[in-house]
Amino acid sequence: MNSDGNAWLDRFASAQQVEELKLRKKQKQNLSHQIFASSSHPQPIKAIPGRQKGPRVFISYAREDAEQARTIYAQMEKGGLNPWMDEFDLPLGARWRNEVSRVIQVTDYVIVAISKQSREKNGNYKSEIAQALAVAEKLDDTQCKIVPLVLDESEIPIDLQIYNGFYLRDRPVDFLVKGLLKGKESEIS
């Protein structure tokens, strides 16, 4: 296990990738803190220096699914997306609900990770979904898209069934990454 206690990094990333992730995490925290402190109005998630500028992706997950969410985050980042996950990107001392709401308002995609464990959850996970649905209701389909991401054999909850989902049992995460990149490109052209 590495010195930060992130066992998942040891399993899924090389030493160089671990150092790059740590550096990007620190840069993102500094940038997010600057944005958070500078304004109470939603601001776009800015690109990280030295990193590809790609569609902004908010990842909502139940704590029981954190390891899978971390892996998905790393694969999205590697694939050219700009993922946001509270574990990596929520600034220390930030008000969770305010920061999550701000990020959801300016993101291109909200990924809602669904599993047997998440379907039984309440609290922050359900709050993030409710916020995403409220934002999506106000915006048109090109501004914020919700993508249910089924991690196991679960079904998509009824309130998310109006959105086209992605099933990891059928295709690997790199197909999701390619689809999100392609979806954003088709909106621009």
What is the pLDDT tens value at each position of the chain, 189 positions in all? 444 445 544 555 566 666 777 776 666 655 545 444 444 444 444 444 444 578 999 999 999 999 999 999 999 999 999 999 999 999 999 998 889 889 988 889 999 999 998 887 777 888 888 888 888 888 776 677 899 999 999 999 999 999 999 999 999 999 999 999 988 655 433
Q: Helix (H) and strand (E) counts for the chain? A: 8, 5
84 - beta bridge partners? 58
Q: Which long-range contacts (CB under 8 A, 24 or more apart) does 27-31 make?
A: 28/88, 28/89, 29/89, 29/91, 29/92
Residue 25 Cα distances to 18, 48, 84, angstroms: 10, 10, 10
Question: How buried is residue 64: exposed, middle or buried, by Cβ count under 10 Å (0-12/13-18/19+)?
Answer: middle
pLDDT of residue 57: 95
Residue (of 102, 109, 128) closest to 39 by Cα position: 102
| 3 state SS of 92 | coil
The amino acid at residue 158 is: I
pLDDT of residue 48: 41
pTM for the predicted model, two decimal places: 0.71
Structure tokens at 55: 């569609």
Continuous H helices in the chain: 7-12, 15-38, 66-78, 86-89, 96-106, 116-119, 124-138, 173-188
pLDDT of residue 17: 66
With residue 36 as reference, give the H or E element that holds it: helix 15-38
pLDDT of residue 40: 45
Tell me how far apart the alpha carbons of residues 61 and 112 are, in angstroms, rounded to a whole number: 6
